[in-house]
Amino acid sequence: MNQRSTKIVQLLSKEKDEITVSGFAEYFQVSQKTIRNDMKEINEILEKNKRGIIDIKSGGIVSIPADFKDSLSLLLEGNFYNYKLSKEERKKVASAIIVNSADYITLASIADRLMVSRATVINDLKEIKKFIRQGNLEVISHANKGLRIDGLESDKRKFLFELLRPTLRTYDNHKNIISEHVHVQSGDINIIQKIIAEQERCYKKFLPDNSFREILLYLRILINRNKLGEFLEPQPEINSDNYMFSMDILKYVSQYCDVVISDDDIKNFSTFLDEVRFKNNGTFNKNTMIIQMITRQYISSISTELGINLNVDYDFFENLSNHLESIFSAPPMDYPEADIIDEVLEDNQDVLDVVIDQMPVIYKFTERKLTEIEVKYIAIHVCAAIERKKNKEVSFRVIVACHAGIGTSILLLEKLKRHFKFRVVDVISAHEAINIKPNAADFVISTVPLESCPLEYVVVSAAFNDADYIRVGNRIDALRNSRNIPDGTEDDKLNAAELIEEITPVINELVEPKDQARVVMKELRKVVRNYFKQSVENDANIISPSLHHLLRASDIEVDVECTDWKDAIRRSADQLVDQGYIEDRYVDAMIESVNEYGPYIVLSPGFAMPHAKVEEGSIRLGMHLIRLKNPVPFGVEELDPIEFVCCLSAIDHRSYLKAFFNLVNMLKDEEYRKKLHEAVDGEEMARIIEQYEYSIVG
């Protein structure tokens, strides 16, 4: 049997509670079909030896035969690791052994390492050589010495890296077959992680979780190879933005891991870093604002098609816009194929269909077509947003189990609190899971598999990404269905925003003067938010101001006369130019942006938000809104003519986001647009904007 099948047998022999195919699929991060095939393989062995077989009942419940424990010796007997490698596994492990060897290695030695016969290795050798050849390497045979690799050291390291790269997404070592059989990495993981993290902060080059793990793998292979005396061949001269970043990381690696580092290592590592994805984290992509506006349009489109309002999920908007920016700011990424992605989308084919159908909204911005896996990752973001909406009012009891100390626990807790209404009843170390009482919680969320946990659990990464969100969502769905608890996709009967909306006109009518009414409403909003336990960022937050902070009465003009869309853009920018928020060239850049990308700046019927790139003349964060006396067309038939034009001056990719997000959601309200249309002056429009903004943030 292969390793996973062996692990299934071990778990079945220990588990006392109900086990399901879906539970195994979640544990191993593979599809349910794969688990069923593994069980079929196990049953073939049992049948051949006239033993009772495993039965999969309705609902995927796994039932073991009465004599199952008597069959363990039959199923598990074998090598030290209690399983036999499949031919595919042998090929990969043997290839790693040969490529990593600093000298000739014999077939007998390889056979011993794999705990198979020499004849088995000979039978596999043709496939092994073919596999290694794919990495630009050749296996050379010598009659009296054995096998060695002919090829560049850089190609050897790349081969080992690509061989181990798929294991970066797994949760513990039992899935890393290669590392169990051959030592290809060296260096203290904790020390290297700290070095990378320190240089991230120093250079402000922040890494997403997957990129961080890739760099860690690269460095540990480098350390191992250099300690074996296998140094890189001379590397070409390069002009890399990451050269100093590379040099400082390797300087500390050399110091703390006691390894010799060469100039060629620095050059090669720089080239590697050039291909790594970094988080934006404050740097401003030239097309960031365009992507964010396209993202808003895309979310609106898929919300309409799905019949689920995802427009108010700020996390979804931010995550998806960052994801799209990452896609379009670099060459197509080699995303790791993951069974969890396909499995989630198998259950959400309607979501994937809508994501694909609405791609033309994104393609208005770019000529590059997204790959199949890139589209799937977008669909995962959508699925996660739907899960957030379903689970916003669910309050289950959970225990959080971590294997990496209190820091990891705190990080995971904050992520969970942000997205769920869980009541966390305990935070424990993974090894304490065996002591959990059966009724202590509804389920456990853990960063590692728990072999003896009496409760059902979900394995997530400490970073808690969208795939993790869906895993937890699946567990919640199962619990909800078993208890007949409705989900949250239906709008609540009453929420904070709706209550404030009901109260506001009453207060405005009964309280005089109007300034006093606004004071009363401000206090009432605090009380309502507290009652509904809905927080809102401090309105005085100057880092990310609200819309009404950027559109005061002095920032709004009414009944402005314009001849066409270009004139409307210029008039909306006049005051920002006069007050030193933008340079004259910024105005020309806004018009050129529409000429290049089309009228993407039209956000809703009758409303446009022109802007340009930061480096094209933006000085200070600001907005200026004009209402045209006679609306003009901008070239979007279903949204023309445009009555409101709001010029945006952005200084980075984040500070205006809250205001922009709120504006887009307010524009979906026809009553709001009607009131703006009927307002007599800028002061009245400013009051309307503030009132509606408070109502949507609740």
Catalytic position from the list 323, 381, 549, 611: 611
CB atoms within 10 A of CB 118: 14
CA distances from 643 to 250, 586, 612, 670, 682 (A): 58, 22, 20, 14, 15
Q: Are 605 and 639 in contact (CB under 8 A)?
A: yes
* φ/ψ bin of 151: left (φ > 0), alpha (ψ from -120 to 50), beta (otherwise): left
Residue 43 CA to residue 250 CA, distance in Å, equals 51
Token pair of 470 as six digits? 């869906």
Establish whether the linkage from the previous residue to 513 is cis, with ω within 30° of 0: yes
- Which amino acid is present at 347? D
Residue 600 CA to residue 598 CA, distance in Å, equals 6
3-state secondary structure of 217: helix
Q: Are strands 642-649 and 622-632 parallel, antiparallel or unpaired?
A: antiparallel
Maximum separation of any 2 CA atoms in the chain, in Å: 102
Helices 372-391 and 288-306 meet at what angle, rounded to 10? 60
Residue 407 CA to residue 203 CA, distance in Å, equals 23
What distance, in Å, lies between the first and last C-alpha atoms of the chain? 57
Nearest CA to 183 out of 121, 82, 100 is that of 100
DSSP of 99-115, one letter per residue? HH-SS-B-HHHHHHHHT
Q: Which residues contact 121 (CB under 8 A, 6 or more apart)?
A: 90, 94, 107, 110, 111, 114
Residue 420 CA to residue 472 CA, distance in Å, equals 10
The answer to whether residue 181 is catalytic is no
Residues with catalytic function: 611
